[in-house]
Structure formats: C-alpha cells, structure tokens
Amino acid sequence: MQKPRLSFWQIWNMSFGFFGIQFGWGLQMANMSAIYSYLGANADSLAILWLAAPVTGVIIQPLVGQSSDRLWTRLGRRRPFILGGAILASVALVLMPNSPSVWMAAGLLWVLDGTINASMQPFRALVADNLPEEQNAQGYAIQSLFIGLGGTVASGLPWMMTNWFGLAADPAGTNHIPHSVRLSFYIGAAAFLGAVLWTVIKTSEYPPSDRELAALRARKFDWTLGLAEIFGLVFHLPRRMWELGLVQFFTWIGMFSMWVYFSPAVAKNIFHAAPGSPKMEAAVAWSGFCFAAYNAVCFIFSFVLLWATKYTGPKLMHFLCLAAGALGLATVPLAADKYHLLITMTAVGIAWASILSMPYAMLAPALPKEKIGVMMGLFNLFIVLPQITASTLLGLALKYFLHDEPVNAVVLGGASMSLAALLTLLVVTFEKTGAQPQSVGGAGGH
C-alpha cells in the first residue's frame, strides 16, 4: 500500500505522546541517583540499583513490539499498548517519591521502567506504520523534538519549584526525598497520561487488509509468548542493524555513565556536599537543571537536524553529534564552577538529539515492513545490553579503578561515546540489493 504523505500537524499529533513519555524518563534520569542517596545508598551501589531500566527494556520491548505486530483492535494496533503503559507508568510516578526505603524505590523503578518501555516501543513502530519512507526521518525528528522538550521541563522541575515558584527548601539536616522532587513526580504523572491521551485520541492507524485480519484471527496461541520467534530473528538481523547496534552499544554506555554519576559528581566536585546537607539538595537541583539544559539543547537542535541532515546525510551528522557529546562528557572535570557545566551539557544535548533520531532514520529502510514492531524492539537490545553491562561493572570499576570518584565514571562515558562516533563512519547506509540510502531531504529529517 502506498501511504499518503501526512501534514506537519498530523505528525505532530502522532508524536506528542513522546512529550509525556520523556517526562517520565527525564524525572527518573535526573533524580533516581539522588533518591537512592537520600534513602541511604552508597555511590558504588548506584549503578546496580539502576539495573531495572535496561533489563525491563530487554524483556518488554521485543515482546510488546511483536504483540503489537500481531494485534488489531478497535483502538488500533499500537495505541492499546501506548495507553496501557501510560496509565501504569503514571501510577508508578506518583508512588516513587513516597518510597520509604532503597529497596522500595528500586522495586518501583522496575515497575516504572517496564511500563514506560511498554508505552514507548510502539511509538517507534507507529511512525514506520503511518509515514511513507521519505517522511520517516521527519517523523523521528519530531519525536526527538518532543523528547527534548519533555526532558527539559521534567529535569528542571525541582530546580524551578524552589527558584521560580517559591517552594521552600527542606529544613537543614533532613534526610528524605525533598518536597520539590515529590511534587515534580506528581506533575510528571499527569503530563505523561495527558500527552499520551492526546496522541491516542488524535491519531488513527491503517487497518489491516481482510487477508491480514483473517490471518491474525487464525493465529494459534503461542505458548512461548513469542520468545521462540524473537530468538530466531536475532540470527537474521539486517547487516545495518548489527553495524548500528555496535554504535548504539558504546553510545549508551556513555549516556548511562552520565545519568548515574553526573549528580554525585556535581555534589562532590562542585558543591562539596555531604549527604543530607542543604548543599546536597542544591547540588541535586542544579544537576537536574543541567539535565534540563541538555534536553533544551536537544529540543532546539532538533530543528537544526531537520534542516541540516538533508545536506550531510544521517551518518555524517550522527558522527559529528556523537563527537560533540564525547567532548562534553570528557571535559566535565575541567568545570571550575556550576555554570561551566552548562557548556558541557550543551555538547551532550547536541549528541542526544542525534541519538534519538539518526540511528532510526538509518535503520528503518533496512527492516521488513511486516516485522517493524518486533525489529524495533530487537534494536532496543543494543540500547539495553550496554546499560546492563554498565550497571554490573561500573560500580566495581568506580571502586577499584576510578578511585571512588564519580566524575571519573563520567569521563569514561565520554571515551565510550568517542568510540561510538568513530564506529558510525563504518556503517553501510545502503543495501547491496541496490536500495538507495534513505533521503532525509524534502520534508526535512532527523
């Protein structure tokens, strides 16, 4: 079927739910290490406590992708999963800042990450389902725009609560999750559900043909829950997915290192803060503001990508952006005060805009159309496996090789991202069958 081109506002409505999804991710990325610290966790245990995010991604995304490939309801194929995940994730966001212990927070993180993954994965497939190939890059670019905007607001909310809206700081000597963080999570729950509802209501999906619908209804129940087919597909992935997967592996080690250790590094190296002190709350708030800054840059730079990628192509653009991000992470120790960190976060934001879009723009044309959902889910393995690796090894590396200095873990992330930039140059962006590289011109691209 030849898909008609969609208008800018149709793509906008289809992608708006990502604003809410990134609101959930942004709150988590900016605040979970601090929440664990407030509840008494040690720095070298932080990475393993973050294990929920990658493990749930490994399990949930391929299964949800395959299940949505095989489903058709009155609400469509992807939207039931998007909405169901959003409802459960919003509940987890409300409960998270009320955790009484480290292990309660860790358990809720598993629930939160699983439900966010269930809501997020079908969004990637929805773009490929609804857009003609020449608009794929534009679709992912607008998703990246909303990811940047949602992350900006979510990451900066605790800082804004105290500095813009006059919420009183917690009294000196308290050792609990601050009121500014609690309120931010409540707002995030409402934003997540509201944004997803907008997309579910405003977006329709192409129904399957009568033949496809009959095949879906005739399919017998799979007692392996689709795992057997998923494992079989692992050995038949397109070459381009393996090449991009290697890039993703080292990219996400870099990002994960920053998410886990940036806040402790800022607290220790810039604010010289002890746990439970007023300085610690200020350090956490500023770390969140820095995360908001890189997401704001991501939002702004997404517009640059829409224009510039039609001249550079996605591969060269991704190389340049990753190189900028690597430089930003590597120079965090050189920051003389908290304002210098905003410069490093600008570089990270440029990389983040590309990370959220360019790999998908390069990958989509290489995937079989009837298996886009499960293939996008499998591609997520190249995001979550490096995070599992980092979760299990970074704590040990910090303790035995990085002198218990969180900032050294951030620099290690920069080195990993620089390797990812170099590997991007080795990606073959067209198939030997004669297919041409995906154009990101015309309507713009991301």
> How far does the chain reach from its first CA to its final CA, in angstroms?
24
**Coil vs helix vs strand at 197:** helix
DSSP 31-85: HHHHHHHHTT--GGGHHHHTTHHHHHHHHHHHHHHHHHHT--BTTBSSHHHHHHH
Average pLDDT over all residues of the chain: 83
pLDDT band at 175 (very low <50, low <70, confident <90, very high): low
What is the C-alpha separation between 109 and 114, in angstroms, rounded?
Answer: 8
Of the listed ranges 137-146, 319-328, 388-397, the least confidently predicted one is 137-146
DSSP assignment of 418-445: HHHHHHHTT---S-TTSPPPPP--SS--
pLDDT of residue 376: 76
184 with 27: CB under 8 angstroms? yes
Give CA 182 to chain center in angstroms: 22
Please tell me which residue, 278 or 132, carries the higher pLDDT value: 132
* The CA-based dihedral angle spanning residues 148, 150, 156, 160, taken in that order and rounded to the nearest 10 degrees: 130
pLDDT, tens digit, 9 for 90 and up, residues 322-374? 999 999 999 999 998 999 999 999 999 999 989 988 898 888 778 877 677 67
Q: Residue 440 has what pLDDT?
A: 32
Which of 101-105, 319-323, 354-358 shows the highest mean pLDDT? 319-323
114 is written with which tokens? 């699983």
155 vs 299: CA distance, rounded Å: 13
Give the model's confidence band at 227: pLDDT under 50 very low, under 70 low, under 90 confident, else very high: low
Mean pLDDT, range 165-188, rounded to an integer: 76
441 confidence band (pLDDT: 50, 70, 90): very low
pLDDT at 173: 47
pLDDT value at position 5?
86
Lowest mean pLDDT among 22-26, 219-223, 319-323: 219-223
DSSP-based three-state secondary structure for 184: helix
- A 10 A CB-CB count for 288 gives 28
Residue 115 has pLDDT above 80, yes or no: yes
> Which among 1, 55, 59, 52 has a CA at the least distance from the CA of 29?
52
Domains of the chain plus CATH, in order, are: 8-205+226-424 (1.20.1250.20)
Measuring CA to CA, which residue among 6, 28, 10 is closest to residue 263? 28
pLDDT of residue 7 exceeding 60, the answer is: yes
pLDDT of the residue at 168:
66
Nearest CA-CA partner of 270 in 260, 258, 255, 280: 280
> pLDDT tens across 257-294, in order?
999 899 999 988 899 887 667 788 788 889 989 998 99
Mean pLDDT in residue range 439-446: 30
Residue 76: φ, ψ to 5°: 110, -160
In which band, very low, low, confident or very high, does the pLDDT at 394 lie, cut at 50, 70 and 90?
Answer: confident
Confidence check: pLDDT of 320 > 80: yes
pLDDT at 446: 34
State the pLDDT at residue 1. 59
What pLDDT is attached to residue 220? 64
Give phi and psi for 252, each to the nearest 5.
Answer: -80, -20
Work out the percent of the chain whose per-residue pLDDT is above 70: 89
Whole-angstrom distance, CA of residue 7 vs CA of residue 195: 20
**Can you read off the two tokens belonging to residue 402?**
């990085």
What angle, 0 to 180 degrees and rounded to 10, lies between the N-to-C axes of helices 102-130 and 136-163?
150
pLDDT at 236: 72
Alpha-carbon distance of 7 to 103, in angstroms, equals 47
Question: pLDDT grade, residue 198 (50/70/90)?
Answer: very high
